[in-house]
Copies of this chain bind each other. A is one copy, B any other.
Amino acid sequence: MSTAGPGTAPGRPAAAEAAAATLADPDTPFAVVDVAKVLRNAERLARRADRLGVTLRPHVKTAKSLPVAALLHDAAGPGPVTVSTLAEAEAFADGGHSDITYAVGIARHKLPRVIALLRRGVTLRVLLDSPAQAAFVAEAAREAGIAVPALIEIDCDGHRGGLTPGAPELPVVARVLHDAGCLDGVLTHAGESYFAYTAGERRLAAENERDSAVAAAGRLRRAGLPVNVVSVGSTPTAHAAEDLTGVTELRAGNYLFFDLVMAGLGVCDLDDLALSVTVTVIGHRPEYGWIITDGGWMALSRDRGTSAQPQDQGYGLVTDLTGRPIPGLVMTGASQEHGTLTARDGAPLPDLPVGTRLRVLPNHACATAAQHHGYHVVDGTRTTARAPEIQAYWPRVTGW
């Protein structure tokens, strides 16, 4: 693994020292994060959350990196986060985060690790949507003599798990949790908003997401059950919501990096994409119109999220090493360690000799980032040279 880069210190990196490595140095392929874009994306949603009067609880499943999370909570220290695995919860607790929501339905066998974190003083909330889960969470809490704060997952759009706000099980689940001192609130996620192609559709999805969570909370409160947390969010709805009355917190993850799927929806511009993968040209097949690189699906992932969008972006759009798009050049093929680039829309195939380094903007930041152990960090606003300087190397949390 190539791990060039001066260090792993969190926070916005200091100016690189003389003779620092650049993106022309590490062995390819490797993941690159543009810290200036992350900060801009983070600030954009933080301002929205402030205006909407809700706490922002970023989902760290995309970057899975403490230094990236440190950019989000700069002033006040480690802040509230959402996680997708207990490995993330443990790593972020080690990094000083004490307010964590684990937003995947809980399995019984995972409760010992949950309780261990609670005993360390971390407020770790679990998620569930069935009487069976409520029963084993309540049982484990009683046995351990500790409250296990739980959120009930609400289904707002038929996307995945959750109870609908009117489901008969909802008050049953809430009562079981409440009787064990574990009921903390409700949570929903507008997963179908990833298919909302207009600002109007996304605004409606955000309203529906809010209405579903608020309706579920109201139903429980009317039954005499306390609801502290009313949590909503997805990257598309978080950027579309205009009124979050009744909601306490907003979650989003992908927005820190954004990607071609989000750009295709219109949630961001191509220029907002903060994650890319640096690759090297290793061959040409002019008879087929192919440029071959050393970045295949191992480096980009197999995610083809834009294949369902009006504009299919293949495995990614290609830029030069400074991040400037090369018009019409798309990564259209991938085997394990080979990428194939082709020109589209009548664009000429550029002359990119063997050894040329390029960057590929991915379909899905969460999936592409997951193929790497960490990020070589550059600051796109600071760079004028041909090869941007590497400011830091930021490791990722992996596994479960």
Interface residues of A (CB under 8 A from B): 1-2, 27-30, 61, 84-87, 104-110, 113, 129-130, 132-133, 136, 155, 158, 160-161, 191, 280, 282-285, 288, 292, 294, 297-299, 301-304, 333, 335-338, 340, 353-355, 364, 366-367, 370-373, 398-400
Contacts and interface: CB of A to CB of B under 8 A. Distances in A.
Contacts of A29: 400
Contacts of A372: 399
A27 B86 CA distance: 10
B303 A109 contact: no
A132 B353 contact: yes
Given A61-B336, A283-B105, A367 B297 contact: yes
A130 to B, nearest CB: 6
A108 B355 contact: yes
Contact of A85 (B85, B130, B337): B337
A5 to B, nearest CB: 14
22 contacts: A1-B400, A2-B400, A28-B109, A84-B298, A84-B336, A104-B337, A107-B280, A109-B280, A109-B355, A130-B283, A130-B354, A132-B353, A160-B340, A161-B285, A297-B367, A299-B400, A302-B302, A302-B364, A302-B367, A304-B304, A336-B366, A370-B371
A352 to B, nearest CB: 12
A304 B367 CA distance: 14
Question: Which residue, A30, A107, A294, A400, has most C-beta atoms of chain B within 10 A?
Answer: A400
B104 A355 contact: no
A364 to B, nearest CB: 8
Q: How many copies does the complex hold?
A: 2
Given A299-B400, A373-B398, 16 more contacts: A2-B400, A27-B107, A27-B110, A28-B400, A29-B400, A84-B298, A85-B337, A104-B337, A105-B338, A106-B282, A108-B355, A130-B284, A160-B340, A297-B303, A302-B304, A372-B399
B27 A104 contact: no
A396 to B, nearest CB: 11
B398 A84 contact: no
Contacts of A367: 297, 302, 336
Contacts of A333: 160
A303 B303 CA distance: 7
B27 A109 contact: yes
Contacts of A292: 105, 160-161
Contacts of A85: 298, 337
Contacts of A108: 354-355
Given A1-B398, A2-B400, A27-B400, A107 B373 contact: no
Contact of A84 (B84, B104, B129, B337): B337
